[in-house]
């Protein structure tokens, strides 16, 4: 059964059409890579799914429920989590507090006001999984670029979402960090549904199975990487260059 259904979605900013009649559906357990040149509307698509941007027309359905008009925090509670292209963490809070806060959104106000004891096991477990245990008590502002992106993934996991939307999770990472992130993604994908925006060709080759190409707000094609790459329309969009050359 389809977990997320996007039907005829259009988003305009003034005269500009950022998403143009996008129709896309995602089954439980899918790992979908979303690529396309800069300005194609990839981030706008995630923004619209998560309630940050309102659709101009069209519908979004998650797990049988329409997402229309839902506030951002209700969408998170319904089971959709995201990261941001410019990883946004709370720099003045410790690494542990960032993740703990993400893990606590289901608590009632009076529970949030209670005295805090040791870190919940789930939080320490997630920090271990992304390899940040040693930085537990450090302020998030002191993390390296790559570590910040892992922290954001940790915060995302702590929310226990069913659908994860990752906006360029390996941008700016070095080769080792990319490999670690790719492995982490593969591992998470075994029991989650994921959309990843990423256009690093090498990364795609290693980890991508299903790819959707977005161009000027419209879905150009969908298929496995080899099929998508050999599609003449895709090559034209990237002006004969490989996606990794055409972006960044």
Partner 1 sequence: MTHTSTVPAPPVSRAASLGRRLRGPAVFVALLAAALLVVPVVLEPFRLNLLAQYLCYAIVALGIALAWGRGGMLTLGHGVYFGLGAYAMAMHLTLARAAQDPLDPDGLPSFMVWSGLSELPWFWVPFASPAVAVVAAVLVPGAVAALLGWSVFRQRVRGAYFAILNQALAAAFVLLLVGQQHLTGGSNGLTDFPVFAGHSLYTPTAQTTLYVLTVLVLAGLYLLLRHITRSRFGTLLIAIRDGEDRVRHLGYDPTWAKTLAYALSAMAAGIGGALFVPIMGIISPSLIGVIPSIMMVLAVAIGGRYSLAGAALGAVLMNAAQTTFSEHFAGTWTYLQGALFVVVIALAPAGLAGLAGQVRQALHHRRAHVTHTSHGSPR
Ligand X SMILES: Nc1ncnc2c1ncn2[C@@H]1O[C@H](COP(=O)(O)OP(=O)(O)O)[C@@H](O)[C@H]1O
Selected range binding partner 1 among 26-34, 104-112, 178-186, 193-201, rule: CB under 8 A: 104-112
Question: Does residue 133 bind partner 1 (CB under 8 A)?
Answer: no
Residue 72: which of ligand X, Mg ion, partner 1, none does it interact with, CB under 5 to 8 A by kind? Answer: partner 1
Question: Are 140 and 89 in contact, with CB atoms under 8 Å apart?
Answer: yes
Selected range binding ligand X among 41-49, 71-79, 182-190, 199-207, rule: CB under 6 A: 41-49
Selected range binding ligand X among 39-47, 118-126, 147-155, 204-212, rule: CB under 6 A: 39-47
Question: Does residue 73 bind partner 1 (CB under 8 A)?
Answer: yes
Question: Does residue 54 bind partner 1 (CB under 8 A)?
Answer: no
Question: Are 199 and 243 in contact, with CB atoms under 8 Å apart?
Answer: yes
Question: Does residue 199 bind partner 1 (CB under 8 A)?
Answer: no
Question: Does residue 18 bind ligand X (CB under 6 A)?
Answer: yes
Question: Does residue 87 bind Mg ion (CB under 5 A)?
Answer: no
Q: What would the DSSP string read from start to end of the chain?
A: -EEEEEEEEEEEETTEEEEEEEEEEEETT-EEEEE-STTSSHHHHHHHHTTSS--SEEEEEETTEE-TT--HHHHHHHTEEE--SS----TTSBHHHHHHHHHTTTS-HHHHTSPP-SPPHHHHHHHHHTT-GGGTTSBGGGS-HHHHHHHHHHHHHHT--SEEEEESTTTT--HHHHHHHHHHHHHHHTSSEEEEE---HHHHHHH-SEEEEEETTEEEEEEEHHHHHH-HHHHHHTTTS-HHHH--
Nearest-10 Cα torsion for 110, 119, 137, 181: -110
Selected from 4, 9, 24, 40, the binder of ligand X by CB under 6 A is 40
Q: How far is the CB of 178 from partner 1 (least distance, A)?
A: 24
Selected range binding partner 1 among 108-116, 171-179, 223-231, 237-245, rule: CB under 8 A: 108-116
Selected from 7, 27, 68, 88, the binder of partner 1 by CB under 8 A is 88
Question: Does residue 97 bind partner 1 (CB under 8 A)?
Answer: yes
Cβ proximity to partner 1, 103 vs 220, nearer residue: 103
Question: Does residue 84 bind partner 1 (CB under 8 A)?
Answer: yes
Within 13 Å, how many C-alpha atoms sit on residue 70's CB side? Answer: 22
Question: Does residue 66 bind ligand X (CB under 6 A)?
Answer: no
Residues in contact with Mg ion by the rule CB under 5 A: 43, 85
Residues in contact with partner 1 by the rule CB under 8 A: 50, 52, 71-73, 76-77, 81-82, 84, 88, 90-93, 97, 100-102, 104-107, 109, 111-116, 155, 159
């Amino acid at each position: 059964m389809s977990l997320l259904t996007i039907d005829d979605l259009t988003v305009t900013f003034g005269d500009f059409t950022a998403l143009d009649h996008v129709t896309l559906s995602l089954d439980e357990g899918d790992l979908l890579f979303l690529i396309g040149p800069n300005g194609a509307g990839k981030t706008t698509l995630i923004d619209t799914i998560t309630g940050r941007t309102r659709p101009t027309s069209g519908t979004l359905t998650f797990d049988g429920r329409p997402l229309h008009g839902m506030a951002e925090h209700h969408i998170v509670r319904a089971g959709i989590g995201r990261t941001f292209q410019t990883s946004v963490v709370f720099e003045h809070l410790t690494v542990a507090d960032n993740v703990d806060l993400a893990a606590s959104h289901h608590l009632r106000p009076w529970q949030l006001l209670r005295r805090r004891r040791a870190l919940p096991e789930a939080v320490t477990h997630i920090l271990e999984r992304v390899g940040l245990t040693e930085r537990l008590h450090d302020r998030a502002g002191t993390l390296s670029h790559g570590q910040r992106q892992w922290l954001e993934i940790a915060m995302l996991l702590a929310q226990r979402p069913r659908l994860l939307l990752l906006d360029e999770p390996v941008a700016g990472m070095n080769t080792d960090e990319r490999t670690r992130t790719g492995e982490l993604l593969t591992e998470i994908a075994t029991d989650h549904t994921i959309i990843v925006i990423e256009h690093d060709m090498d990364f795609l080759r290693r980890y991508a199975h299903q790819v959707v190409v977005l161009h000027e707000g419209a879905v150009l094609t969908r298929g496995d990487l080899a099929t998508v790459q050999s599609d003449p329309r895709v090559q034209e969009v990237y002006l004969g260059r490989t996606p990794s050359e055409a972006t960044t």
